[in-house]
Amino acid sequence: MSKAAGKDAEVGKRPEGETISPCPAARYGFKVDGPLLGYRASAKAAFDPRYSGYKKLVRYLANTAGIPNELGDAEAAEVYIRVYWAKKARIDLSNVLKAIEDGMFTQDRRICAIYGICREDVGSEYAEVDVIVGRRGK
């Protein structure tokens, strides 16, 4: 660990001021069936009907699970995403996380932590998403 990183960079520690309080917190979960898509940063992505449809699907699944469209100023979310690939990973994990994140909230700046894992060769392609929403911690 570098001196610049400080003690908060230790495994299992979250940066101070960037966590949600342990209670009250609401927990939600949903599953996104494949094929999964990744975030697209190009100017064309905004007009890509496939990507825009994917974000709408993720929002629908999040809405069905009870996740609010937006979080208030005093709220924050922690997001846990487990990505499963039928064979080998087709897309970078970070791009899959960002695409799901973009679909979940109209403005995702209230996400204070996002955790992702990837498993290959599981026989089918899907993502499991768990979200914890609570008050912003200090």
Predicted pLDDT at 138: 58
Tokens of residue 133, six digits: 């929403």
More confident residue, 6 or 43: 43
Domains for the chain: give ranges and CATH numbers: 23-136 (3.30.1330.70)
Question: Given a cut of 90, is residue 24 above it in pLDDT?
Answer: no
Question: Given a cut of 90, is residue 127 above it in pLDDT?
Answer: yes
Pair 12, 113: CB distance under 8 Å? no
Closest residue by Cα to residue 114 from 105, 133, 101, 99: 101
Question: Given a cut of 80, is residue 11 above it in pLDDT?
Answer: no
Question: Given a cut of 70, is residue 4 above it in pLDDT?
Answer: no
Tokens of residue 11, six digits: 């495994």
Percent of the chain residues past pLDDT 90, beyond the cut? 48
Cα–Cα distance measured from residue 26 to residue 84, given in angstroms and rounded to the nearest whole number? 25
Task: Express each pLDDT in 43-98 by its tens digit.
Answer: 566 677 888 899 999 999 999 999 988 888 888 899 999 999 999 998 999 999 99
